[in-house]
Amino acid sequence: MKQHLSIIIIGASGDLATKKIFPALFALYCRKLLPEPFSCCGFARTAMDVDTFREMLKRHLTCRYVPDEEECPALMDKFLARCFYVTGQYDLHEDYKRLADILDKNEKDGLSVTRIFYYSIPPFLFIPVSHSLKQAGLTTDIADKRLNRAVIEKPFGRNRASSDRLTRELATVFSEAQTYRIDHYLGKEVIQNLMALRFANLVLEPLWNRVNIAHVQITWMEDIGVEGRAGYFDAYGIIRDVMQNHLLQMLALTAMSEPLSLNPEYVRDEKVKVLRSVAPVTLNDIVVGQYTGAEYKGEKRRGYLEEDGVPPDSITPTYAAAALKIRNRRWDGIPFLIRAGKGLNDRKTEIRVVFRDVPANIFGAVSTPPDANELVIRVQPDAGISLSLMNKKPGLPMSLHKTDLNLSYADVFPEEIPDAYESLILDVINGDKSLFIRADELAAAWDVFTPVLSELESCTIRPQEYPFGSEGPRSAVALAALYNTHWR
């Protein structure tokens, strides 16, 4: 049955909307993946007419999927002709009535409609916006006529209690089935591949446990600072900004057991199970840091406390490293060492599975002992997977040499890799929830970090300083050493 699709972006003049959401919608349009008919409507406080809005959107659209460059301007114009804009206050339901009028006008008579409300707004607006949408009569499903979905971006609360409150409040407007909580890392190609890598290959599963694996490292590093987002960042910090969500999701997909099938509920059941087995982090298991001013790549970089909008006595961590323990049969005793930081000396995200040493080294007399094998899943920047193996170094003597089997996405997959938002928005349109965070999963993830966040903040623990462009605070090295290893 033909249906109309209406996508409503609340906060349409902001960075996320203009740089990620609209370009992703346009990419789907170019690939003919948006259902017909469809229309988009932006809503935000900034006063502007629809032409100015379209001009603003156009600056960020690219034709990556259009082979013939000459077709591009016409395609952009066709897409933009479906985009509308309403200026309004987020908490005034009268303003949403004007939005409702535009939606009604755009949606073709007689067709049923799916409306997707995308919250591209700061978290403190989630509740007022939801209530105003409800008061304006926009959130009620009408059987066979109108279905509504809401897409919500992290951070979902600041700890377990505030996250539960948010979940409860939102549930009075959109049911759990209608709610899509986005963690954009789950839309990244290499992260989606984790399930295929682990469960579509026979060789890994027998090794994937405490018997063969010594530890797992999950690294997330950026060599930039807070880049104009100090207001948001200072209120949240690196643990809430990336660890509780992006890193825990990577951990869950690495550590979970095989789901019964790809049914979204079964996948999320397994993630919840493993997240519930993670012991809450304690102060002994974590190190926090904050970058200070330094010269990096020939440029003077400001310290976190000098960034505009950061209070001079802020104790917000820009770096954290933690040792997580999973209390189940597969992983008992195996540390998952995770670290995340801004203002470091590299930009990379990866999962590194470090296997145990080979027992009874028979090469001892002729060579240095074999290094442990490592499987590295490189999420970015150079997406790929590599497995280090020991081999005989060519030559007369028997000596061992560590080499990598390397699968580089750029070499093996010539096709354009979709942006995470393209993949996730298409899933919302298709009603597929596998890559979205379920309420119980969110609660389990908060349980891992809530106690330690509360201790760090109530005891006013000052993060250890590290210079911008370094490897992070020295105490992170000591944390890894506690587990007889070092960060790779």
Question: What torsion, rounded to 10 degrees, do the Cα atoms 392, 394, 399, 402 define?
Answer: -50
Between residues 241 and 374, which has the closer beta carbon with respect to ligand BG6?
A: 241
Min dist. Cβ of residue 155 to ligand BG6 (A)? 8
Min dist. Cβ of residue 352 to ligand BG6 (A)? 17
Min dist. Cβ of residue 460 to ligand BG6 (A)? 24
Between residues 215 and 301, which has the closer beta carbon with respect to ligand BG6?
A: 301
Quick check: 316 and 342 in contact, CB under 8 A?
no
93, 184, 246, 401: which is the annotated catalytic residue?
246
Cα separation of 318 and 303, whole Å? 11
CB atoms within 10 A of CB 282: 12
- Per rule CB under 6 A, is residue 374 in the interface with ligand BG6? no
Min dist. Cβ of residue 436 to ligand BG6 (A)? 15
Between residues 424 and 439, which has the closer beta carbon with respect to ligand BG6?
A: 424
CA proximity to 318, closest of 233, 409, 419: 233
Cα diameter, the chain: 83
Min dist. Cβ of residue 9 to ligand BG6 (A)? 18
Min dist. Cβ of residue 320 to ligand BG6 (A)? 13
Min dist. Cβ of residue 102 to ligand BG6 (A)? 30
Which helix (H) or strand (E) element contains residue 466? strand 464-467
Cα separation of 193 and 200, whole Å? 10
Taking CB positions, which residue lies at the least distance from ligand BG6? Answer: 241
Cα separation of 12 and 3, whole Å? 24
Give the number of residues in contact with ligand BG6, rule: CB under 6 A.
3
- Per rule CB under 6 A, is residue 351 in the interface with ligand BG6? no
Query: Residue 207: exposed, middle, or buried by beta-carbon count in 10 A (0-12, 13-18, 19+)?
Result: middle
Cα separation of 359 and 486, whole Å? 21
How far, in Å, are 18, 130, 269, 297, 439 from residue 171 at the CA level?
28, 10, 20, 48, 10
| HEC readout, 413-464 | CCCCCCCHHHHHHHHHHHCCCCCCCCHHHHHHHHHHHHHHHHHHHHCCCCCE
Quick check: 29 and 5 in contact, CB under 8 A?
no
Cα separation of 53 and 224, whole Å? 30
Q: For residue 440, which amino acid is it?
A: D
Q: Interface residues for ligand BG6 in 171-230 (CB under 6 A)?
A: 222
Cα separation of 338 and 359, whole Å? 27
CB atoms within 10 A of CB 361: 13
Between residues 4 and 20, which has the closer beta carbon with respect to ligand BG6?
A: 20
4 included as an active-site residue: no
Q: How many residues appear in the chain? A: 488
Between residues 276 and 348, which has the closer beta carbon with respect to ligand BG6?
A: 348
- Per rule CB under 6 A, is residue 241 in the interface with ligand BG6? yes
Between residues 18 and 148, which has the closer beta carbon with respect to ligand BG6?
A: 18
- Per rule CB under 6 A, is residue 234 in the interface with ligand BG6? no
Min dist. Cβ of residue 96 to ligand BG6 (A)? 27
Min dist. Cβ of residue 446 to ligand BG6 (A)? 16
CA proximity to 249, closest of 225, 227, 229, 278: 278
Cα separation of 322 and 451, whole Å? 14
Cα separation of 249 and 256, whole Å? 10
- Per rule CB under 6 A, is residue 242 in the interface with ligand BG6? yes
Per DSSP, 81 falls in state T
In three-state secondary structure terms, 127 is helix
- Per rule CB under 6 A, is residue 152 in the interface with ligand BG6? no
Question: Which residues of this chain interact with ligand BG6, rule CB under 6 A?
Answer: 222, 241-242
**Where in the sequence numbering do the catalytic residues fall?**
246
